[in-house]
């Protein structure tokens, strides 16, 4: 699984795509961790191109959020669409992980 990153000012934006489920959750975790390693910038995980996420994927996102919190780095997800948004809302993840409709809003929120 490939995670691409780009800079938006001081914020590191990681872009995901395809799907995250039990079969590739570990690969997803390793790819995100590799993409954000060695940074001290806030992180936004842009999920606009993600079409499906399972509970295994949610667990990975929670682990990443906790690790970043331990490093005093802000974290948010954005651009949740369709079934991914539903999974976040039904599971209550939208209440424990900062979520935003657009990348621009998420970047602004994690900057301060």
- Give the pLDDT confidence score for residue 39 in this predicted structure: 85
**Local structure of 4: helix, strand or coil:** strand
pLDDT-based confidence at residue 2 (cuts at 50, 70, 90):
confident
Q: What is the helix (H) or strand (E) element at residue 19, kind and residue range?
A: strand 11-20
Q: In order of start, what are the domains of the chain with their CATH numbers?
A: 4-110 (3.30.750.24)
Q: What is the helix (H) or strand (E) element at residue 45, kind and residue range?
A: strand 43-53
Predicted TM-score (pTM) of this structure: 0.94
Yes or no: say if 58 and 20 are a contact pair by the CB < 8 Å rule: no
Which of 73, 82, 88, 12 minimizes the C-alpha distance to 46?
12
To which residue do tokens 């039904």 refer? Answer: 90
**pLDDT tens, residue by residue, 23-69:** 999 999 999 999 998 888 999 999 999 999 999 999 999 999 999 99
């Amino acid at each position: 699984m490939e995670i691409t990153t780009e800079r938006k000012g001081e914020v590191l934006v990681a872009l995901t795509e395809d799907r995250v489920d039990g079969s590739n959750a570990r690969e997803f975790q390793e790819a995100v961790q590799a993409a954000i390693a060695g940074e001290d910038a806030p992180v936004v995980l842009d999920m606009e191109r993600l079409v499906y996420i399972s509970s295994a994927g949610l667990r990975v996102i929670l682990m990443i959020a906790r690790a970043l919190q331990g490093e005093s780095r802000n974290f948010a997800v954005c651009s949740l669409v369709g079934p991914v948004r539903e999974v976040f809302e039904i599971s209550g993840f939208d209440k424990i992980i900062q979520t935003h409709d657009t990348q621009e809003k998420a970047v602004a929120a994690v900057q301060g």
